[in-house]
Structure 1
Amino acid sequence: MSKVADNPLILVDGSSYLFRAFHAPPHLTNSNGEPTGAVYGVVNMLRSLINRFKPTQMAVIFDAKGKTFRSDMYPEYKANRPPMPDDLRVQIKPLHQIIKALGLPLICVEGVEADDVIGTLAKQASEQNRHVLISTGDKDMAQLVNPHVTLINTMTDTIMDESGVKDKFGIGPELIIDYLALMGDKVDNIPGLPGVGEKTALAMLQGIGSIEKLYQDPDKVASLSFRGAKTMPKKLRENENEAKLSYQLATIKTDVELDLAHQELNIEAPDQNQLIELYKAMEFKRWLSDAIGQQDTKAQSEVEEISEKAAGNYSCILDKTEFNLWLAKLQSAELIAFDTETTSLNYMQAEIVGVSFAVEAGEAAYVPVAHDYEDAPTQLDRDWVLNQLKPLLEDPNKAIVGQNLKYDKHVLANYDIDLKGIAHDSMIESYVYNSVGTRHDMDSLALKYLGHKNISFEEIAGKGAKQLTFNQIHLDTAAPYAAEDADITLQLHQKLWDLLAKDEKLKTVYQTIELPLIPVLSKIEQNGVLIDSYQLSKQSEDILIRLAKLEEQAHEIAGEKFNLSSTKQLQKILFEQLNHPVIKKTPKGAPSTAEEVLQELALDYPLPKVIIEYRGLAKLKSTYTDKLPLMVANKTGRVHTSYHQAVTATGRLSSTDPNLQNIPIRNEEGRKVRKAFVAQDGYKIVAADYSQIELRIMAHLSGDEGLLTAFSEGRDIHKATAAEVFNTDLDKVSSEQRRSAKAINFGLIYGMSAFGLSRQLGIPRGEAQKYMELYFERYPGVLKYMESTRAFAEEHGYVETIFGRRLQLPDIKARNGAVRKAAERAAINAPMQGTAADIIKYAMIQVDQWITEQNNQDVIMVMQVHDELVFEIKASAVESAQAKIQQIMQDAAKLKVPLLVEAGVGENWDEAH
């Protein structure tokens, strides 16, 4: 690769990058639906250039509005270019504002193009032996390259000096204008010579020389060996005016009158305040964090900086007198922000290192109890501190706010403290207010809502394998970090509660669903689930044998050995050795081997089918059969998952460590994993599952008479749909027709197109389209619901569940068709999926209330998976408890159609499901 001189003058072709960034994925928008992708792309490139080359001089040059001298010379110049898309036009102003706030000179000159300004500045500088780096994706700029001028394309990370130009084009910079003029340019509407492409232009320039030399003796061209050489002299003579005009149009002007000389293009200090406001508006969170961090960087060292942030605001409590003063404050406060610092994120293993609290913004305290680094100061006894706090924390009338209080509730339970006064949770407030607007961790929320950059854990603990646990961190840095957590939690609550309280629906979702769910999820997680580790180990052994056979089978089909887990080797085998068609490419242009690609190839070829099975089994083994036995907690002998309320866009819970939502149930090996989830002696597993809940919600929302009747009469909805679509009697519906109807029913919920349905059913697209049209004829209310939902989403930018949960749809007005269609599909599905999530959450709260009120030791709620609740129930109580659970779940919501809950009983989860 070519080298760049130290500290070059960097000239950026802003217009070139603006268009390229606009058309490149991902097509970003902020939470208001405003496009931001082009701004992000250009600014990202600028930041990278500055970080890489550390220049002292730099300018970003854009085309000005209006016509240029080339249009006067040739009115058809660029006449075919479409108008600038609105989604790009609205990004120009904020981009220019950010560039200026970064301290970079920004230049637009009327009557000429950005290329001409760059050419002029480059010529000025190179004539004074100043090294210039032009950042562009435009091949025309190659004409400017000389011993002092180099090009860089940051999109491809290629650098071109004079030899680089020759390597790429086959000619030197001095012939680039001739090259462009001979070929012409359809995009810019430069005529060129008719029928002359890259190879012909190159052959003439390499064989004879410049356009000037070609016209000195056109007949010499006939002696060259390229195809069409014999007729070229005539073509040259007939199109001499066009050739010379094209030469003028392709020539970059290097004598533009400018207000600034190249020596004046100095980079100034960034305006951090302006950048913070702009990055907040664009929602560029990482850069916002950087800008806020730069604004704070005034102290001499990291430790001093952290301490300075906290000075006068935060206390580190090391004696009982000060602790008691704070305790009195807590006892009299209306609301307490509370947080724990621990040794682990695993709530079953975490030990308390300290606690922090705040009762008013800007003032907080940290009580360390277990920092054990060398020379650590004497701290208050952990048991004494927790005993003092226990009455406060267990008082249901003492209002407490936290960030992810479920974790703190778990940790306190390890010390026999039952946290009861959960009044607010800033993470949940943010999630209910806007589930897709940001991540809901404290650092992201502080940046978004408070414009504040928190002290990060990595700042005080380090990174990677050498990262310290909290007990190893010195108090001079640990205390400000911990106290800040409580302080910022309180401030976030104050901000977010103001936003939530203005919307009665969102407030109700928060107060009646999400907050009461916190202690319920905590109980389920504490209960854990019993697994048969021996059975899983045996299954792992069986899978290992099967994997070996599949590997052997794959090698036999391929005709050679290869690593089935290597993407590169698989690409070579599938697309080079076996010549399978390339269905899709990766962002880097390589043939994709993603799951959906393999599934499509598997319809016609044997190897992809083997690979799919191999991958599925390998993942099942590594994720579940190998891993689950290692996750059994020593003190309970059970596996304890973590449920997350603030992850999915629609309100559904997710789970990790282990992920209970992703255990496959459509194949035998996946069901075997479920068989390993067992009940303790004397108990049974009971699984209660909502039947076709999203279709029932669709019937309720759409009010379609056909669907309402089918559900109210208790018909098989897929058979009923098949009878309608295929115009046959209910008792004559074939299994194939029912399968097709089921695909239509569920496909419509997820916004499936006729193309998607045709692929799923293996039928022509026209036939699938006909099925869908027949469906809408029979169920017109569904079509009306879909159309009205799209219209509502486009007007308001969101959709709602029956209970008022809101899903923001920032891409619903996107110009990019694919992005907009995805948002429309989400608009149709989210009210159903979100309502289903709300219903099962209500059910969990009410089932838990029943268990608590009855002080029922015989019923233990152990899992929630999709639309299913799983229990361990004493064998003697199964019949009555099962009936009560079904009743509570069915009564969790009143819809226009009955909710149906199916329950099963077994020794294990698979038997019960």
Structure 2
Amino acid sequence: MQQPSLFDHRPERILIVDGHHLAYRNYFALGELTTSRGEPVQAVYGFARTLLKLLKEDGDCVIVVFDAPQPSFRHEQFAAYKAQRAPTPEDFKPQLEKIKQLVDLLGLARFELAGYEADDVIGSLAKKAEAEGYEVRIVTSDRDSYQLLSDKVRVLKPDGEEVTPETVREKYGVTVAQWVDFRALTGDASDNIPGVRGIGAKTAAKLLAEWGSLENLYAHLAEVTPPSVRKKLEAGREKAALSRALSEIHTDLAIEVDFAACHRRPVDREALRAFLEALEFGSILRELGLIEARSAEEAPWPPPPEAFLGYVLDRPQPMWAELKGLAGAWEGRVARGPARAKELARFEAVHALQAKDLTVWARREGVRVQPGEDPLLLAYLYDPTNSDPAATVRRYGAGDWSEDPAARALAAAELWRILGERLAGEEALWWLYREVERPLAGVLAEMEHAGVRVDVAYLEALSAELGREIAAIEAEVHRLAGRAFNLNSRDQLEVILYDELGLTPTRRTQKTGRRSTSAAALEALVGAHPIVERILAYRELSKLKGTYLDPLPRLVHPATGRIHTRYHQTGTATGRLSSSDPNLQNIPVRTEVGRRIRRAFVAEPGYVLVAADYSQIELRVLAHLSGDENLKRVFQERRDIHTQTASWMFGVPPEAVDPFRRRAAKTVNFGVLYGMSPHRLSRELGIEYAEAERFIQRYFESYPRVQAYIERTLEQAREKGYVETLFGRRRYIPDIRSRNRNVREAAERMAFNMPVQGTAADLMKLAMVKLAPEIRSLGARLILQVHDELVLEAPQERAEAVARVVREVMEGAWALDVPLEVEVGIGENWLEAK
């Protein structure tokens, strides 16, 4: 139903939007942005954001103008007009049509006129509005519009900068009246307006200041000095006249418009909501007030077992949180219940968004309940960018995500319904949900509730030791620098490194162009000065002390005496688990301090830790996915992959492979998974670029089907817009078609790495789901998962039996063309077990 306007009075100002220009600008400015179906929408989203910003000024009348699809009179005058422009990207055209649809749905006046460009329509509207006494703002970055400037007409750039006649005079040295003549002389490469060859902006401004206009300039051409300029003007006379004709905007088109009426903006709210929901613009739906609370009949508590629950915790960590609200929704009804753990005891399984967190809280309160259906896990499988409950609910038009538990319950039920329809026929994704993600939530709930014991006294002693070492390094850095300074200040460090010590910057910051002091920039300077290595050491130790040693004791729960890490199933694009509070994924395993931190994770008295680590799982997955016979044979015959690769790469027998060759092969083996370039390899191995190139070439000659797999995967990404794991988990790669080479190449690396890394993640999750019930009867429990490793706590007398079960289950998680191998260790702490 059409909504009446709230504004029937005369508008204060007319805003004229250059629709085509703004759409094109957003298309390139925002990079790739797609819906969960892979439909590009960056131009629509950016346009909508700019338009809504303009519409917030209620005193303005907003008119949007587009180029007509037919050629304009300028194309007839000059066949090469805009001919050198790159072809319009195919995915821009459908976005432009959606933008026009959005303009109409917002109730805005929209104009395009056959035979004319948007500029001419804009110019005619601006002069008509000016004549009627309105203030006018033209929203565009197109400099052709500067000829329209006056006391009442301004150009408003999308970034907010306002251009006035004074701006033009100060920046270009010409008046608005001279702007078309200025463009006639200088030309415009973007529109293929030729101008006069050899006449730049400064010369053009000087000529117009002296002669007033292009016409007068050519009328007195014989008097122009110096002769070289006169000669250029004479040679370019026809081009100047043509350029002027092409540059001049027509302001006399007969366009009927009632500026007072266009201010009323009637909006079809239902159609606009449906349009924005289809594009998954949840934040815009919310901003426009189009997300409505789902209507529901109030019913008495308790709800039926199949109801979706909505709950509110006062903090994200369920082991530390208090329940502030609880509700259930089913079949258009909603029931509010007491915020008590015993209310959950009536449910065999909890159906909710982030169901795991509610069950962890319930277990803490003594109520054992399993996570059930979780629409967020389903949304994550549909599109791995769906990681946040509020954004996901709004994205699919399932309602709003407020602090009201009833609203959350209704949103969860509606999201489940919507996704059920969208995933109809998606058998692989449903299999992943039923067999992997949903049961894994129960395993993770047990792990989070169980927690892990840490040796607090040991951590505090190690922190004090590191503090002394950090202070000593800081003193050494000051000595090498020749003076004291704040090591944590990037500005002071920049001055020390590049001004006072004279080191050559290896990279600059993207936004400011300043000389970078990032870890990557400093690593490239290692060897240039001893201060660099000491700064890197200072940063590494400070990070470990600040991230782990100091916070870990504070994270020990007073009731359990253990640390309860939170695991996130929707935190990564590849399917890997992530963790927080604390994040255990980032403890370095190759540094001495990282290993010593692992020593702090200990078993309870009478128990030991069992650590099980998949050996080279990603390379084994690569062998299976690529089908490369050489790679498969190495693993099938249980040979050392790095030694064998080195043997083939360097043309020597395996027994002749020295440590450098094995290290080179190991670097290439893992580097190829991440698209390692010869430049990176040369830096890591300290070899010449050409030699690094040969190493990579020999690798692909040794494993020819690996390169074919990479090409096959990239082709799938370009064709379908996504890649997938062995089990059908998807990752959308919209940047695979980017025109920016760096962006595109990064997307390509992402594309061929994800199926390998994601399949390895799926295998780990499958192993966890299968392992949890097997070890329960042995009195053991899973307590940690980090990358390719699981850590269990087992009764000391059953540790060997637990280790055997763990190896058997993990190695048998799924049958690949090559065997999975697991290294298992037992110890009183994580370091010993590792």
- Label 1:835 to 1:198 Cα distance change in 2 as closer, same or farther (>3 A): same
Shift of residue 176, structure 1, vs aligned partner? 1.9
Identity value in percent? 39
CA distance in 2, matches of 1:438, 1:864: 22
- Label 1:526 to 1:173 Cα distance change in 2 as closer, same or farther (>3 A): same
1:729 aligns with 2:653: yes
CA distance in 2, matches of 1:571, 1:213: 55
- Label 1:576 to 1:140 Cα distance change in 2 as closer, same or farther (>3 A): farther
Q: What residue number does 1:209 align with?
A: 212
AA aligned to 1:19 is: Y
SS at the partner of 1:364? strand
Contact 2:615 2:820 in 1 (8 A): yes
Shift of residue 588, structure 1, vs aligned partner? 5.7
Match of 2:31 among 4, 26, 29: 26
AA aligned to 1:838 is: D
Contact 1:694 1:833 in 2 (8 A): yes
1:425 aligns with 2:374: yes
CA distance in 2, matches of 1:820, 1:400: 42
CA distance in 1, matches of 2:735, 2:192: 34
CA distance in 2, matches of 1:769, 1:539: 43
Q: What residue number does 2:168 align with?
A: 165
1:50 aligns with 2:55: yes
- Label 1:807 to 1:22 Cα distance change in 2 as closer, same or farther (>3 A): closer
Shift of residue 141, structure 1, vs aligned partner? 1.9
Q: What residue number does 2:825 align with?
A: 904
Q: For 1:228-254, what per-residue CA distance to the aligned partner results, in whole angstroms no more than 9, with x for missing partners?
A: x34223433443333333333222222
AA aligned to 1:171 is: V
Match of 2:42 among 30, 37, 43: 37
Shift of residue 363, structure 1, vs aligned partner? 0.4
Contact 1:797 1:808 in 2 (8 A): yes
1:191 aligns with 2:162: no
Q: For 1:823-858, what per-residue CA distance to the aligned partner results, in whole angstroms no more than 9, with x for missing partners?
A: 44333222222222222222223332122234x1xx
Q: What residue number does 2:285 align with?
A: 288
CA distance in 2, matches of 1:429, 1:885: 29
Shift of residue 757, structure 1, vs aligned partner? 3.6
Match of 1:889 among 807, 810, 826: 810
CA distance in 1, matches of 2:515, 2:98: 37
Match of 1:82 among 72, 83, 86: 86
Match of 1:401 among 334, 346, 351: 351
CA distance in 2, matches of 1:532, 1:216: 92
Contact 1:547 1:618 in 2 (8 A): yes
Q: What residue number does 1:133 align with?
A: 137
Query: Structure 1 residues 900-909 or 257-266, which shifts more?
Result: 257-266
CA distance in 2, matches of 1:100, 1:518: 45
Q: What residue number does 1:314 align with?
A: 298
Q: For 1:519-556, what per-residue CA distance to the aligned partner results, in whole angstroms no more than 9, with x for missing partners?
A: 22112111211222233333333444444455555556
CA distance in 2, matches of 1:569, 1:170: 40
Shift of residue 720, structure 1, vs aligned partner? 0.5
AA aligned to 1:314 is: E
Q: For 1:681-722, what per-residue CA distance to the aligned partner results, in whole angstroms no more than 9, with x for missing partners?
A: 343333211110111111122222211221122211011111
Shift of residue 190, structure 1, vs aligned partner? 2.2
Contact 1:529 1:638 in 2 (8 A): yes
Q: For 1:628-659, what per-residue CA distance to the aligned partner results, in whole angstroms no more than 9, with x for missing partners?
A: 11111101111110011122222211111101
SS at the partner of 2:69? strand
Contact 2:617 2:820 in 1 (8 A): yes
Contact 1:790 1:827 in 2 (8 A): yes
1:248 aligns with 2:245: yes
Q: How does 1:586-625 map onto structure 2 within 5 Å?
A: 586-587=510-511, 592-602=516-526, 604=528, 609-625=533-549
Match of 2:457 among 534, 550, 553: 534
Match of 1:346 among 304, 311, 317: 317
AA aligned to 2:375 is: S
Q: What residue number does 2:794 align with?
A: 873
Contact 2:356 2:441 in 1 (8 A): yes
Contact 1:401 1:493 in 2 (8 A): no
AA aligned to 1:407 is: D
Q: For 1:68-104, what per-residue CA distance to the aligned partner results, in whole angstroms no more than 9, with x for missing partners?
A: 2233333333232232121222321111111221222
Q: What residue number does 1:61 align with?
A: 65
AA aligned to 1:503 is: E
SS at the partner of 1:401? strand
1:438 aligns with 2:423: no
Match of 1:660 among 584, 587, 603: 584
- Label 1:146 to 1:580 Cα distance change in 2 as closer, same or farther (>3 A): farther
CA distance in 2, matches of 1:844, 1:589: 47
- Label 1:601 to 1:289 Cα distance change in 2 as closer, same or farther (>3 A): farther
Q: How does 1:103-118 map onto structure 2 within 5 Å?
A: 103-118=107-122
Q: What residue number does 1:143 align with?
A: 147
Contact 2:283 2:394 in 1 (8 A): no
Contact 2:775 2:802 in 1 (8 A): no
Q: What residue number does 1:483 align with?
A: 406
- Label 1:622 to 1:897 Cα distance change in 2 as closer, same or farther (>3 A): same
- Label 1:777 to 1:543 Cα distance change in 2 as closer, same or farther (>3 A): same
CA-atom RMSD in angstroms:
3.0
CA distance in 2, matches of 1:90, 1:340: 41
TM-score normalised by the chain length of structure 1: 0.84
Q: What residue number does 2:444 align with?
A: 521
Contact 2:354 2:374 in 1 (8 A): yes
Structure 1 runs not aligned, ≥5 long: 1-5, 223-228, 297-305, 316-321, 370-381, 458-480
- Label 1:791 to 1:82 Cα distance change in 2 as closer, same or farther (>3 A): closer
Contact 1:693 1:836 in 2 (8 A): yes
Q: For 1:295-340, what per-residue CA distance to the aligned partner results, in whole angstroms no more than 9, with x for missing partners?
A: 74xxxxxxxxx7xx65x6124xxxxxx55xx4xx63xx5x233344
CA distance in 1, matches of 2:120, 2:482: 58
CA distance in 2, matches of 1:568, 1:110: 56
- Label 1:147 to 1:336 Cα distance change in 2 as closer, same or farther (>3 A): closer
Q: What residue number does 1:477 align with?
A: none
Shift of residue 606, structure 1, vs aligned partner? 5.8
TM-score normalised by the chain length of structure 2: 0.91
AA aligned to 1:446 is: V
Q: How does 1:716-865 map onto structure 2 within 5 Å?
A: 716-812=640-736, 818-854=742-778, 856=779, 859-865=780-786
SS at the partner of 1:737? helix
1:410 aligns with 2:350: no
SS at the partner of 1:424? coil
Contact 1:435 1:650 in 2 (8 A): no
Shift of residue 345, structure 1, vs aligned partner? 2.7
Q: For 1:348-370, what per-residue CA distance to the aligned partner results, in whole angstroms no more than 9, with x for missing partners?
A: 22233443223x3210111235x
Q: What residue number does 1:271 align with?
A: 268
SS at the partner of 1:699? helix
- Label 1:563 to 1:254 Cα distance change in 2 as closer, same or farther (>3 A): farther
CA distance in 1, matches of 2:688, 2:656: 24
AA aligned to 1:782 is: V
Q: For 1:141-183, what per-residue CA distance to the aligned partner results, in whole angstroms no more than 9, with x for missing partners?
A: 222211111122123x321222222222233322222222221
Shift of residue 797, structure 1, vs aligned partner? 4.2
Structure 2 runs not aligned, ≥5 long: 1-10
- Label 1:131 to 1:796 Cα distance change in 2 as closer, same or farther (>3 A): closer
Q: What residue number does 2:400 align with?
A: 454
Contact 1:180 1:247 in 2 (8 A): yes
- Label 1:576 to 1:78 Cα distance change in 2 as closer, same or farther (>3 A): farther
1:677 aligns with 2:601: yes
CA distance in 2, matches of 1:576, 1:203: 41
Q: For 1:431-480, what per-residue CA distance to the aligned partner results, in whole angstroms no more than 9, with x for missing partners?
A: 23x14253351x3343344x2332512xxxxxxxxxxxxxxxxxxxxxxx
Aligned length: 824
